[in-house]
Amino acid sequence: MQQVIPLESDSSSLPRRLTARDDVGPSGELDGLDTVVSDVVRVDWVPPVERFGWADRLDRLSGAEWRRRAWHFAPGLLPWISCLVPHEDPLSLLYRASAVVVIGVLFIAAVLEFRKFRRRTDESRIGPIVGYTIPAFTLFLLFPAHVELALVTLAIVAYGDGTATLVGRLFGERPLPWNPAKSWAGTIAFVLVAAPLASLAYWGEAQPEVSWSVAWVCGVTATLMAALAESLPSRWNDNFRVGAAAAASVVATHAMLVGLA
């Protein structure tokens, strides 16, 4: 009678050759392996069950990646600062000049510090940072009377895209069908985090005050479009396409519900 021997892939006891006549004893276990070749014993490979603890998951992110996440989230503070600082609507020239200086300082600091959080040595320092900045900054310049549009875009890039990468790297065992490089965990986290924060940024900044329902529609619509853009396959850094999708969506939704006058 042949005995089926399950072996895990990393088993150090896997012999070079398994050939023996193995009789099962009364206990149901192998009595022993004969050295004389007779019957071939079938070996079934049983894949090991992967169980990841928190330590194992956290090890997936290097120190450089943690620093990158911190830099990615940091500009997300600007929408809340803008909501708390009193300002005119449309924005005064002084306020716009001050905002440009702040954005410029953050941009230069990110460029100078990029080598500390780049993922590989040949990664361009300009592409990810410019892609992050352009969509929100463009809306800031084009719509000074509706700065909430820029703040929604910034919140989505900062919190949505930043969270998607973080959660995807920690819990991304199930890839998306259309893009194996992205995960369901990352995409779901993108929406769950960015949608309420983008809506809150819109509602807190909108002048005159708008209803929460309008803010929610604008924030959620922009978030869903940006999450879809983030999930698409691409060889390039996704900061720009996430921001561009969020910007286009929130402008269109705002124009339909509130108007751009």
pLDDT of residue 184: 97
Do 45 and 139 fall into the same domain? Answer: no
4 pLDDT exceeds 50?
no
Each residue of 85-135: pLDDT tens digit?
Answer: 888 888 889 999 999 999 999 999 999 999 889 887 667 888 899 999 999
Do 42 and 68 fall into the same domain? Answer: no
The secondary element (H helix, E strand) that includes residue 77 is none
Number of domains in the chain: 2
Residue of 159, 165, 168, 184 lying closest to 238 (CA atoms) = 165
Helix, strand and coil content of the chain, in percent to the nearest 5, comes to 60, 5, 35
The domain boundary residue, chosen from 49, 64, 80: 49
Do 144 and 222 fall into the same domain? Answer: yes
What pLDDT band is residue 55 in, cutting at 50, 70 and 90?
A: confident
The domain boundary residue, chosen from 49, 64, 81: 49
Do 32 and 94 fall into the same domain? Answer: no
14 pLDDT exceeds 80?
no
pLDDT of residue 261: 77
27 pLDDT exceeds 90?
no
Please answer whether residues 148 and 206 qualify as being in contact, where contact means their C-beta atoms are separated by less than 8 angstroms: yes
- In the chain, DSSP assigns E strands to 5-7, 43-45, 175-176, 179-183
Asked which of 18-22, 37-41, 182-186 is least confident by mean pLDDT, the reply is: 18-22
The DSSP result for 110-149, as a single string, is: HHHHGGGT-SSTT--SHHHHHHHHHHHHHHHHH-TT-HHH
pLDDT of residue 209: 80
What's the domain range around 216? 54-257
Mean pLDDT of the chain: 84
Do 248 and 148 fall into the same domain? Answer: yes
Do 15 and 105 fall into the same domain? Answer: no
Phi-psi group of 32: left, alpha or beta (phi > 0 → left; psi -120 to 50 → alpha; rest → beta)? left
Which tokens hold the place of 43? 């070996």
Please compute the mean of the pLDDT values over residues 129-152 and round it to a whole number: 95
Do 27 and 127 fall into the same domain? Answer: no
DSSP 49: P
Name the residue with higher pLDDT: 193 or 63.
193
Peptide bond into 90 cis (omega under 30): yes
pLDDT of residue 37: 47
pLDDT of residue 147: 94
Do 116 and 195 fall into the same domain? Answer: yes
What pLDDT band is residue 5 in, cutting at 50, 70 and 90?
A: very low
Query: Percent of the chain, pLDDT > 90?
Result: 61
Asked which of 9-13, 202-206, 230-234 is least confident by mean pLDDT, the reply is: 9-13
Do 73 and 40 fall into the same domain? Answer: no
Given the structure tokens 């819109």, which residue do they identify?
202
Asked which of 36-45, 90-99, 162-171, 215-224 is least confident by mean pLDDT, the reply is: 36-45
The domain boundary residue, chosen from 49, 70, 86: 49
- Coil/strand/helix, residue 176: strand
Do 90 and 209 fall into the same domain? Answer: yes
Please compute the mean of the pLDDT values over residues 230-256 and round it to a whole number: 95
36 pLDDT exceeds 90?
no
Asked which of 34-38, 109-113, 145-149, 220-224 is least confident by mean pLDDT, the reply is: 34-38
Do 58 and 144 fall into the same domain? Answer: yes
Do 44 and 58 fall into the same domain? Answer: no
pLDDT of residue 120: 77
For the chain, the distance separating the N- and C-terminal CA atoms, rounded to the nearest angstrom, is: 85
How far is the CA of 161 from the CAs of 174, 227, 228, in angstroms? Answer: 18, 8, 11
